[in-house]
A = this chain, B = another copy of it.
Amino acid sequence: MSHPDAFTRLIQALCVLPNVGPKTAQRMAHALLQQNRQGAAELAHALQHALKQVNHCLDCNTFCEGERCNLCADPQRDPQRLMIVHMPADVAAMERAHCHDGHYFVLMGQINPIQNMDLNSIALEKLVQRLARSTISEIIIATAATAEGDATAYVLIELLKAQPYRISRLARGMPLGSEIEYVDAGTLAQAVYERKQLNHTP
């Protein structure tokens, strides 16, 4: 079965969506053109509008409309503490946890240690600029507890260690509410390895 060129092009275009392969894309294209041309038109406009309106915050690098995001513009946030995360969704998760009252920097990616440690996959330059014009004294590296998160943290530590920041990383160990019996071996080993001493006896 051969499609009109425009249809083929739409299928290919839809394949940029995460987890959408040619088969799914073909089904999507068919549904949009056959049953929901209004929805398709709105999608096109929303994409164009977003491309025009959504920039990266000049301070924290997250997506925002305008120059700075609400969080960076908030005078209530502690200007001395900066938490570095991979993605905007991580900022949202931290805000839900109410555990950080400082600012964020969003790397918009992670370092892949298996492929090539490509430093261009995170916004390092912008981070350096951000730090250069700040009053930050403490940096909290909040990367994922994965190989990519470890590689990203490693790069950040190498970049920052010569500078006068207090640098820390999220604790790793037993997740809240977990029973020993049901925690995976790697996490248990980590929890024992990083066990917290409770007294000062030798």
Residues in chain A within 8 A of chain B (CB atoms): 83, 85-87, 89-90, 92-94, 96-100, 140-146, 149, 157, 161, 164-199, 201-202
CA distance A33 to B176 in the complex (A): 44
> Copy number of this protein in the oligomer?
2
**Which residues of chain B come closer than 8 Å to A192, judged between CB atoms?**
83, 94, 97, 99-100, 140, 142, 170-171
- Assuming the contacts A94-B188, A99-B193, A199-B161, asked whether A170 and B176 have C-beta atoms less than 8 A apart, the reply is no
CA distance A90 to B35 in the complex (A): 56
**Which residues of chain B come closer than 8 Å to A92, judged between CB atoms?**
181
CA distance A194 to B202 in the complex (A): 22
Query: Which of chain B's residues has its CB closest to A91's CB?
Result: B180
- Assuming the contacts A192-B142, A193-B99, asked whether A177 and B186 have C-beta atoms less than 8 A apart, the reply is yes
A-B contact pairs, 9 of them (CB 8 A): A85-B180, A94-B192, A140-B192, A145-B179, A168-B198, A169-B196, A177-B184, A177-B186, A177-B187
Given contacts A99-B188, A143-B180, A175-B184, 17 further A-B contacts (CB under 8 A): A89-B180, A90-B179, A92-B181, A93-B180, A94-B192, A97-B189, A98-B185, A140-B195, A144-B180, A146-B179, A170-B195, A171-B171, A171-B190, A171-B196, A172-B176, A172-B191, A173-B173
